[in-house]
Amino acid sequence: MRARIATALIVLATAASPAAAQQLKMDNLNKLADAARQVVDVTIDEQLLQLASKFLSSSRSSDEAEIKELVKDLKGVYVKRFEFETDGKYSPSDVDPILKQLRAPGWSRIVGVTSKGGDNPNVEVFIMSDANLIKGIAVIASQPRELTVVNVVGPIDVDRLSRLQGQFGIPSLELPSKPR
């Protein structure tokens, strides 16, 4: 009996670990809230995603049907966005714990945009993949007065990914999209 329980626990832990590995720990950013003019903190786990998708239309002609199809297998959408009155309210060391997680096996940096001065953000996009399947994505967009971290957990259809912009609290990050 104990052997069966132990085996069941090992199977459950193994099955749960891929999603857990994709979900970033972003709690260290909470300390930035006191200095921020505006804070967006979105936590939508798998259960809430499935509940929310029930309210979306399945009509093939609607954008809602496309979003519903995109989120059906997701395990979570997590967003932290801080907007500050002045420069210097956060530092690169605040983002370092997240970048450390993104250096773990399985994660790959696929986009890096560095802007010098102006209002253009620095953007880094990371994916967690296994063979041809994208299992998670992370986006870090930073400007002197803004910091946004987005983490989407679960299998992602790359062709539809950019359509999540503006949904579930994910800001428009000007990710490329294929024409419809």
- State mean pLDDT over 159-163: 62
Task: Return mean pLDDT, the chain.
Answer: 77
Let me know if residue 16 belongs to a domain. yes
3-state secondary structure of 104: coil
- Binned at pLDDT 50, 70 and 90, residue 158 comes out as low
- Predicted confidence (pLDDT) at residue 84 exceeds the cutoff of 90: yes
Output the CA–CA distances (angstroms, integers) from residue 69 to 23, 54, 76, 101, 118, in the order listed. 21, 11, 14, 29, 37
3-state secondary structure of 160: helix
Q: What's the pLDDT at 118?
A: 64
User: Residues 27-82: pLDDT tens digits?
Assistant: 999 999 999 999 999 998 888 887 877 777 666 556 677 677 777 788 998 999 99
Let me know if residue 175 belongs to a domain. no
Q: Look at 147 and 12; give whichever has higher pLDDT.
A: 147
| Strand ranges in 15-168 using DSSP code E only, listed in sequence order | 38-45, 76-83, 107-113, 122-130, 133-143, 146-153
Per the structure, the complete domain to which residue 134 belongs is given by: 2-164
Token output for 50: 């499935």
Query: What's this model's pTM, rounded to 2 decimal places?
Result: 0.73
Let me know if residue 127 belongs to a domain. yes
Residue 68: CB atoms within 10 A of its CB come to: 18
Q: What's the pLDDT at 46?
A: 86
Let me know if residue 176 belongs to a domain. no
Q: What's the pLDDT at 141?
A: 93
Output the CA–CA distances (angstroms, integers) from residue 17 to 22, 24, 36, 117, in the order listed. 9, 13, 33, 40
User: Residues 104-152: pLDDT tens digits?
Assistant: 998 999 989 888 876 778 899 999 988 778 899 999 999 999 999 999 9
Calculate Rg over the CA atoms of the chain.
Answer: 18
Let me know if residue 171 belongs to a domain. no
Beta strands at 146-153 and 122-130: parallel, antiparallel or unpaired: unpaired
Structurally, how many domains does the chain consist of?
1
Give 43's Cβ-side CA count (13 Å radius). 6
